[in-house]
Amino acid sequence: MKIRPFQDTDAAFCFRVRSRAFIQKFYGELTPQEVTTAVNSYLPEDYLRMARETTFFIVEQDGTPIGFFNLKQMDQSTAELPLIYLDLDHLGRGIGAACLDYIEKWLLENWSEVNTLIVDTIIPKYNCGFYLKVGFEPRESTYCEFSGQKIKALRLVKKLMKN
């Protein structure tokens, strides 16, 4: 596994991976309208914008993209993990946990003042087990906004360990 910076040519890949996850995996937890809204909220040009506004990474295996994530510094001590997605064919292989290890090391090296990582998920039944396994704790109910539509979410928080 290799993690590299996002390139403009990755935008279509990110759109496909995230859309497939919503359509094939998250349908049971979200309404059809919420799935449609969430998928249409991040078109390829939106990934290009996010890459300019956040720190954005692509996960590769044997030179082929298999996932992506991005980071945003919220304030001096808090970073957000707005998106983390893996191609569905690569789930359950420890890649997500390896990405979280990378994220923590990257934060310590690049944003050393950050000691808290947050993630908001609109599909807590589907992925809360993963977040708990990698050290996040549920904190509060919140909302994520997609194209003006608010969807109920769960905020999870992880305190980062300094070396």
Fold of domain 2-159: Aminopeptidase (3.40.630)
Both structure tokens of 102: 């990378």
pTM: 0.93
Distance CA 131, CA 92 (A): 13
- Residue 63: what are its φ and ψ, rounded to 5°? 80, 0
pLDDT at 131 over 90: yes
pLDDT at 163 over 80: no
Model pLDDT, residue 149? 87
Q: What are the CA-CA distances from residue 27 to residues 34, 58, 99, 113, 137 (Å)?
A: 9, 25, 25, 38, 24
- Three-state DSSP string of 142-160: EEEEECCEEEEEEEEEEEC
Model pLDDT, residue 148? 86
pLDDT in tens, 35-86: 999 899 999 999 999 999 999 999 999 999 999 999 999 999 999 999 999 9
Q: For the chain, what are the domain ranges?
A: 2-159
pLDDT in tens, 69-128: 999 999 999 999 999 999 999 988 999 999 999 999 999 999 999 999 999 999 998 898
CB contact set of 10 (below 8 Å; sequence gap of 6+): 47, 58, 65, 68
